[in-house]
Structures are given as structure tokens and as C-alpha cells.
Amino acid sequence: MKIAVIGDTHLGYSRFYEDSFTQAKAAFEDAQEKADLILFLGDLYDSRVPTLQVLGEAITIFSKIKKNVYAIHGNHERRSKGNLNAVELLEKAGLLTHLHMRGEPFTHEGEEVFIAGMGNVPDDLASKALGRLKGEITPPENAFSILMLHQSFKEYVYGENLASIHDLEQLGYTLYLNGHIHATKEGMEGRFLIPGSTVLTQLTKEETKPKGYILYDTKEKTHRFVEIPSRKFILEEKTFEGATPQEVSERINEAEDALRKENPEAIIRFTLKGTLKEGFRPTDLNLPRTPNTHIDNRLNRVQLKGEMEKIRELRKNNVPVQELSEQKLRERLKGKITLFDPQELFERLLEGPEAAREALKRKPSKKL
């Protein structure tokens, strides 16, 4: 059986809004041609509560897919228990099957595979959730079995107390698929695969590689990366020594013109390093910016110690601020009795004061 594995489409991502739809569509349509089954690894949308416009685009994409789709939710869709998330919404519309802490067999031309999924859980609760999954689902020994995840692993993401991909071995699946990481990765000799995102999100060096999805062959136990048409991303570093703002502008404009000749549509990011001539400040630079040209001005930058460095490190590794705040909230409320479900209240507050007020009115905390 040929299985297409797609992840992190981030529909509605504001920075590259149109790309998020065209590139997701390209991945799903190509996958439908080449695969017998499509698996989606979470972060379908960029927002926890997508706009009607974005939901409409998602419905348009999925209603054209005639192959079976199994999906999990990512951290961008995760909501507290009892609240419908935006991936489940598509399941209600009959467009896909949402697998969270459950599994089911899928048969194609006499070949049976077993697919299980665990949607994203906060990283500090991941090992507990995986333990629960192990207790609840046992993959059949005589069939090819797949576990879909959307988590951080210490092999790819910096963070305290993260699980290792090798901890997964004890769960007993043939193949492990993971979303969340936006670059293509492979571990455990091809038994742990990450397709990466279909849209550019971080403008990092890793994202200069092509975007696409993974096509897995269960008979051969092999896979390949299928590239999709996606906007090219060019990252260039320019170093200066005692330059005037005028000199910097000229060099950047020249470099941009040269690159634009070959790549008119590309997203270009220049990282400026080094020093300016004495008496000038980085803010003296007046570089024309277009939506597709990004300037990362690091001229005259003094390395800051402590908090700043930590924040930058966390940003670089894509630990969302929301996730950190939720983690802090859980730590502070541990063992305490509250009149409300703190997780739900937090989510509702993000939606606005009206939603939060509703949540407080509706139900008292289960802890009472």
C-alpha cells in the first residue's frame, strides 16, 4: 500500500496567507494521485479558532479528496476536553477521520494496515499520554501498524525533559510519523519520519530546502520525499565592517536586484552582520522592504546574556508563547482546587472576554 504523509499546512498563516492554501492544495492533490491512503499529522490550520474564510478553504480542499484521510490535531488546534477542535469539525462534515487516542484498521486491495493516532498534548504531559495510549491500544502483530503523533522530541527540538524518539520503540508499531517539526527528518533507520510543513513559517536555514510530503510503501518498507511546487526561499548573509548606512543599502539593493532577476517571486531574507561606521546606529538604516524581502538587521549587535538569549533560543526552536503560558499555569495550579477549569478558561480568554464569561457561567470545575 502506498501512503501519503502530510503535515503542518498551517492554513491561514498570515505572513504567507495565499501560499498556505495553494501549497496545501498542491500536496493533497498530488498525494491523491500517488497514494492509496492519506495521513495528516496536525496543524492543519494556523489558528485555534480559524476564520470562516479559512474553514471554507479547508472544506474546498478536502471535498476534492476522494481517498481516505486519517488525521490528528496539532498544537495549533488543540482544545480542552469536551470542546470541538477544527480538525474534528471536518470529521463531522464527513471529510476525514480524526484519530485521537484510538486506532482502526484500514484495508486496500486485501492488504490491511492498522492506523493509530495521538493528537498533540502539551510536551510536559506527553510521556503520561503515551503511557495511557500504550495501555489502551495494542497494535496487531500481524499487520503493518502506524502511529501518528504531533510532539516535540529531543533529537530535533531544544527543551527540558523532552521525550526521545527511542522511547517510542516500546509501543510496538512498525512506523512512527510525526508532525510539529517544520523540516523533513528521518530517525530510527526510516521507522520514524517527519514530512515537515508545506508552507514557509520560520525563515530559517532549514527552510531553504524544498517543501512537500512523504510517500511510504508498506510492502517495500521504503519512503521518498515528494516535492510540491512551493515558493522559493533564499537566505543570504551579508557581513559589513565599519560601513556607512549608504554603503549597506547599496550592497543590499544590488544583491536583491541580482537575485530577483532569476527569482522574481522568491521570498528573500538578508541577515546583516558586523559593524557600522562609528557614529551610526542600526536604526539609521533605511532599507526599502517589500512583502517578499525580509531584512534581519543584526548590525552592531551586542550579545545579551540571560533572559534575552533564552527567549531567542526558545523562539528559534519554535516553542509557542501560548504553550509556555499554559505550562506555567498548570504548574502553579497543581494540586489546588479551583472554581473553573483553568485550561478551558485560558483558551476562552484567547477567544475574547465574551467566550470566557460564557465558560465561567457554564460549568464548575470537575475537581469540585
Tell me which residues touch Mn ion (CB under 5 A). 8, 43
Task: Starting at the earlier edge strand, list the strands of the sheet with 293-297.
Answer: 233-243, 267-276, 293-297
Q: Report in angstroms how near the CB of residue 71 gets to Mn ion at its nearest.
A: 14
Which residue type, as a one-letter code, is found at position 224?
R
- Over its C-alpha atoms, the chain yields an Rg (Å, rounded) of 23
Q: With the CA atoms of 100, 101, 107 and 111 taken in that order, what torsion angle do they form, in degrees rounded to the nearest 10?
A: 130
Cβ proximity to Mn ion, 43 vs 123, nearer residue: 43
Cβ proximity to Mn ion, 228 vs 359, nearer residue: 228
Cβ proximity to Mn ion, 13 vs 106, nearer residue: 13
Q: Report in angstroms how near the CB of residue 180 gets to Mn ion at its nearest.
A: 6
Sign of dihedral through CA atoms 261, 228, 40, 114?
negative
Q: Report in angstroms how near the CB of residue 46 gets to Mn ion at its nearest.
A: 8
Dist. CA 352–CA 33, nearest whole Å: 42
User: Among candidates 201, 212, 127, which has minimal Cα distance to 171?
Assistant: 127
Q: Report in angstroms how near the CB of residue 8 gets to Mn ion at its nearest.
A: 4
Cβ proximity to Mn ion, 151 vs 218, nearer residue: 151
Q: Report in angstroms how near the CB of residue 60 gets to Mn ion at its nearest.
A: 21
User: Among candidates 56, 134, 67, 127, which has minimal Cα distance to 97?
Assistant: 67
Cβ proximity to Mn ion, 85 vs 145, nearer residue: 85
Hey, what's the cell of 164?
526521545
Q: Report in angstroms how near the CB of residue 74 gets to Mn ion at its nearest.
A: 6
Contact call for residues 190 and 223 (beta carbons, < 8 A)? yes
Contact call for residues 211 and 200 (beta carbons, < 8 A)? yes
Dist. CA 213–CA 219, nearest whole Å: 19
Q: Report in angstroms how near the CB of residue 323 gets to Mn ion at its nearest.
A: 11
Cβ proximity to Mn ion, 43 vs 88, nearer residue: 43
DSSP state of 35: -
- What per-residue string of b and e applies to 335-355 under the rule 16 or more CB within 10 Å gives b? eeeeebbbbbbbbbeeeeeeb
Hey, what's the cell of 120?
498533540
Dist. CA 206–CA 247, nearest whole Å: 29
For residue 5, what is the enclosing H or E element?
Answer: strand 2-6
Q: Report in angstroms how near the CB of residue 333 gets to Mn ion at its nearest.
A: 27
Q: 68-71 and 102-108: which strand pairing?
A: unpaired
Cβ proximity to Mn ion, 199 vs 299, nearer residue: 199
Q: Report in angstroms how near the CB of residue 225 gets to Mn ion at its nearest.
A: 18
Which residue type, as a one-letter code, is found at position 359?
A
Q: By beta-carbon distance, which residue lies closest to Mn ion?
A: 43
Dist. CA 349–CA 322, nearest whole Å: 12
Cβ proximity to Mn ion, 47 vs 249, nearer residue: 47
Q: H helices within the chain, ranges in order?
A: 17-34, 52-63, 86-92, 126-136, 245-262, 307-316, 321-333, 342-351, 353-362
Q: Report in angstroms how near the CB of residue 251 gets to Mn ion at its nearest.
A: 35
